Amino acid sequence: MRARILALRVTLWTLIVPPTVWAVHFLFCYLWVSVSCAKLGQFPRFTTAFVIGTGAALAIIVAAGAIAWVQSRTPGDPPPHDEGTDIDRLRFIAKSTLLLAGLSFVAVVFTAAPALMLTDCR
């Protein structure tokens, strides 16, 4: 019964949340800079919207990673997994989500980094 409850919380949707959040953040940053350069003629500095958007993206990715961490620690059979059980699938998807969350976290940080270093639109 416990495995069934945990299996309902881990789906392929949880697997795509971190990279989707990174993609939305990337689009947000790209549009923010391009509109600011076109309208103001100067590279935008950190604004409240940018800080809130980056913070929200990082928080969602950390939350997805934390959920995946808890679910990847679900006890089950040791490898090799000759027969795929629900617990084995749960742990595989959770481990994959955890790895994608780490990659997406780094990607969001690197997407936000130019706003700290760049000063003009050229």
Per residue in 9-47, pLDDT (tens digit) is 557 888 899 999 999 999 998 888 888 778 877 767 667
CB 105 within 8 A of CB 65: yes
CB 15 within 8 A of CB 77: no
Per residue in 69-106, pLDDT (tens digit) is 888 877 776 666 667 777 777 888 888 999 999 999 99
* pTM beyond 0.75, yes or no: yes
pLDDT value at residue 6? 47
Per residue in 50-79, pLDDT (tens digit) is 889 999 999 999 999 998 888 887 777 666
Residue 24 CB-density burial (10 A; 0-12 exposed, 13-18 middle, 19+ buried) = middle
